[in-house]
Amino acid sequence: MSKDENSSLSRISKVLIEDMFQVSEGETVGITVDDGSRMDIVHALFHKIKDCGGLPLILHLPVARGDSEAGMPDWPAAPLTAALCVVDVWIEMNSVVLLYSRIWEKAMADNKKLRYLVLGHSTSKSIERILTGFDIKNLGRLLNGVMEMAARTKTVRITSANGTDVSYLTDSSHALDIDDGDYSKPIFGTAPGYVNIVPKVGSMNGRIIFDELQNTDIYEKGETLAFVMKDGKIDKVEGGIEADKFKKYLSSFDDPNMYKISHHMIGLNPKVRTLLGEIVEDERIWGGTDFGFGHTSPIDMPPLGQPAKSHFDGIIAATTIYFDGVKITDNGEVCHPSFIPFANALLGQVV
């Protein structure tokens, strides 16, 4: 391993374990992995946890046939669930994720002290970009400001130069949350740098044209793939060969809820400025939008959630976002006067 790689792993493990999770003496930290995991990162985290006085536990799983509930036949559910229900911290680094499976739901519901973070199949360089080089508190100020405005908003509209134009209604009973990198308290955590809104059921209408979509090669090929949204679900998938393949992917689940919108994430990580084909990183692209489909946890959509066999996400790199007709971002840049000072400070301090 090169000196640069060692330095990168050191920065990642320090920021994540010491600064973000603030792991303390005697805390148990479970790290789930599979054969597709980046084990150099896992081992760096393992040793940093020990250095902090914590008790690391690596749980090595088979590579499942699909994410979320689709992977249940391949995971040792009973012992894995038991372990995750008692650890203090769970970092999910398996390439095929447990997120939104019944194992995940049980751990999140029963383990009231759990601090959870999903990183998936991310490279060390990608994780370093999304976790380091900015002030957590300053990011929190920006994200909280946007979230507070979203809480007062009735209608959200997203447009893009690529032809996207889609709108939805909000629902005050649904989740509205951020991740700013503070995982020191019980949390359903993902990588920092976004505001997440769960739309009102049946309210999304319009057209989404993706720059990147899980389970397709449109990012690599530059092929166009579009969803026509009608009353909160995918009514049509339009495009070329990748669109045809994606229709088959969706129909393979034989699950109508896989066509339904799950969440809308507004990306605001100051270190993520271009799409790089790293889904966890790209979902947080500054001024971009991520749409999730399929399974939605009861945590996010009480009381029952939106059960589905899996979950997938798609990204638009530069968007214009309106809250009740007022622009928050303009072609990928923060433009609302209330947020410009925070945005400028974050972009000016990025290292």
pLDDT digits (tens, 9 = 90+) for 308-320: 999 999 999 999 9
Comparing 124-133, 199-208, 242-251, which segment has the lowest mean pLDDT? 124-133
Q: Could you give the strand order of the β-sheet that contains 89-92, starting from the edge strand earlier in sequence?
A: 55-60, 28-33, 89-92, 115-118, 187-190
Q: Is 206 left (phi over 0), alpha (psi -120 to 50) or beta?
A: left
For the domain spanning 3-130, the CATH number is: 3.40.1830.10
Smallest Cα–Cα separation from 305: which of 104, 166, 83? Answer: 104
pLDDT average, residue stretch 332-348? 95
Average pLDDT over residues 262-272: 97
* The pairing of beta strand 176-179 with beta strand 212-213: unpaired
From the centroid of its chain, how far is CA 346?
A: 20
| 124/43 Cα distance (integer angstroms) | 12
What confidence tens digit (pLDDT) does each residue in 59-89 have?
Answer: 999 999 999 999 999 999 999 999 999 999 9
Q: How confident is the model at residue 351 (pLDDT cuts 50, 70, 90)?
A: very low
Bond prior to 199 in cis (omega within 30° of 0): no
DSSP state of 73: G
Q: Which of 264, 244, 65, 56 is nearest to 157 (CA)?
A: 264
The vertex-36 CA angle with 47 and 246, nearest 5°, equals 140
Does the pLDDT of residue 114 top 90, yes or no?
A: yes
Q: Which carries the bigger pLDDT value, residue 193 or residue 1?
A: 193
Contacts 24+ apart (CB under 8 A), 46-51: 47/13, 48/13, 48/14, 48/16, 48/17, 48/18, 49/17, 49/23
Please write the tens of the pLDDT for every residue from 3-37.
667 889 999 999 999 999 999 999 999 999 999 99
Task: Show the 3-state SS of 221-259.
Answer: HCCCEEEEEECCEEEEEEECHHHHHHHHHHHHCCCHHHH
pLDDT band at 135 (very low <50, low <70, confident <90, very high): confident
Distance, CA of 282 to CA of 213 (rounded, Å): 10
pLDDT at 126: 92
Average pLDDT over residues 185-202: 96
pLDDT at residue 327 greater than cutoff 60? yes
Domain limits, CATH 3.40.1830.10, in the chain = 3-130
Query: To which residue do tokens 């914590």 refer?
Result: 54
Please provide the size of the chain in residues: 351
The whole-number pLDDT of residue 198 equals 98
CB crowding 71-102: b at 16 or more within 10 Å, else e:
bbeebeeeebbebbbebbbbbbbbbbbbbbbe
Reported as a pLDDT band with limits 50, 70 and 90, residue 236 is very high
Residue 151's pLDDT is 98
The CA distance from 262 to 260, in Å, is 6
Nearest to 287 by CA among 224, 325, 336, 324: 336
223 token code pair: 């092929």
Residues of the chain with pLDDT > 90: what percent? 91
- What does the angle CA 164 – CA 168 – CA 174 come to, to the nearest 5 degrees? 130
* pLDDT average, residue stretch 187-196: 95
